[in-house]
Chains A and B, each alone.
Chain A
């Protein structure tokens, strides 16, 4: 069977949402920071067992988070990837509020948490971080680490919903 599902990427500015999507969809990484304006929609097809899932990926500008406008971008989403930046602990702080708000808006939304930019931490720092925050995935858009896994997991989750 073929399915189309909308998923959203949320998280504070500069955490690497656009970079994760670019790495996943186009296999590229850009060192430059071009802050997203509004939202950018991308698409990639994933195969989960015998099913084909067309992921419509809405990469929402960090700047817009919590605003009235971004809420309208969330509607209709089946899954959400919440992204934080390993090198900025402050980007982990609004996670609880965001998830609460999302669940109020979309009752059965599936959420995956991603701590990005692990390439900026040494081994010990990464272990410390993992002890303090328990996120689902630790990724590097720069090095292409664990990116496929993140999107495959969200595809699997939204397929069950």
Chain B
């Protein structure tokens, strides 16, 4: 199936739920943050970055510009539902390096970095080529840094603090 059809279907079937979550938690904070962000030259308009268990959808660490305003577990769960849906519905190649879903103003990028985990970035801006290039770069770096903390481990064995510290060191 063509990628376009796939995206349209995902948008129709699962994305509305996700949209609601994201909207509910984020929109009211966007305007103030946007102006602040624009002052920081060269900073990617990154709203959230998660490390997520591929199967259960449980967030094992995240970085967020809105910090406590977002329930990471909920967003991670919905992202995983969408991912599972698109992979099984369209037999998408799981190792495909980056998957993208657009909803309203949000662009979500997912990257299969590890055996049991994947990385997801939520961006509240149009995904320019430049943005995508930078994200690819970030995915690679974060994967390298987290490899030691995550390799061969299950969700239960992971120190969430360790993952979050690494992410905030990298993105702040």
Chain A interfacial positions (CB closer than 8 Å to B): 4-6, 37-43, 54, 56, 58, 68-69, 71-73, 75-78
Task: Check: B84 CB closer than 8 A to any chain A CB.
Answer: yes
B89 neighbours in A (Cβ, 8 Å):
69
Output the nearest chain A residue to B78 by Cβ-Cβ distance: A41
* Contacts known (A73-B81, A75-B84); A38 close to B56, Cβ less than 8 A: no
Task: Check: B88 CB closer than 8 A to any chain A CB.
Answer: yes
Q: Give the interface centre of A42, A56, A68 by most chain B CB atoms within 10 Å.
A: A56
Task: Check: B127 CB closer than 8 A to any chain A CB.
Answer: no
Output the nearest chain B residue to A61 by Cβ-Cβ distance: B13
Known A41-B78, A73-B81, A76-B57; 12 more pairs at CB < 8 Å: A6-B56, A6-B57, A38-B85, A40-B17, A54-B73, A56-B73, A56-B77, A69-B84, A69-B88, A72-B84, A72-B88, A76-B58
Top 9 closest pairs, chain A to chain B, by CB: A76-B55, A76-B56, A41-B77, A72-B84, A6-B56, A75-B55, A72-B88, A4-B58, A39-B81
Task: List 26 A-B residue pairs with CB atoms under 8 Å apart, sorted by A's residue number.
Answer: A4-B58, A4-B59, A4-B73, A5-B56, A6-B56, A6-B57, A6-B58, A37-B13, A38-B13, A38-B17, A38-B81, A38-B85, A41-B77, A43-B74, A54-B73, A56-B57, A56-B74, A56-B77, A58-B81, A69-B85, A69-B89, A72-B87, A75-B55, A76-B56, A76-B57, A78-B56
B88 lies within 8 A of A43 (CB): no
Q: Give the interface centre of A4, A73, A75, A76 by most chain B CB atoms within 10 Å.
A: A4
Please measure, in the bound complex, the distance between the C-alpha atom of A87 and the C-alpha atom of B117, giving whole angstroms: 42
A43 lies within 8 A of B73 (CB): yes
| Contact of B56 (CB < 8 Å), options: A42, A43, A71, A77 | A77
B14 neighbours in A (Cβ, 8 Å):
37-39
B84 lies within 8 A of A73 (CB): yes
B85 lies within 8 A of A42 (CB): no
Chain B interfacial positions (CB closer than 8 Å to A): 13-14, 17, 53-59, 71, 73-74, 77-78, 81, 84-85, 87-89, 155
Please measure, in the bound complex, the distance between the C-alpha atom of A56 and the C-alpha atom of B56, giving whole angstroms: 9
Output the nearest chain B residue to A75 by Cβ-Cβ distance: B55
B77 lies within 8 A of A58 (CB): yes
Chain B min CB distance to A91 (Å):
24
Chain B min CB distance to A40 (Å):
6
Output the nearest chain B residue to A45 by Cβ-Cβ distance: B73
B74 lies within 8 A of A42 (CB): yes
Output the nearest chain B residue to A55 by Cβ-Cβ distance: B73
B71 neighbours in A (Cβ, 8 Å):
43
A37 neighbours in B (Cβ, 8 Å):
13-14
B88 lies within 8 A of A75 (CB): no
B13 neighbours in A (Cβ, 8 Å):
37-38
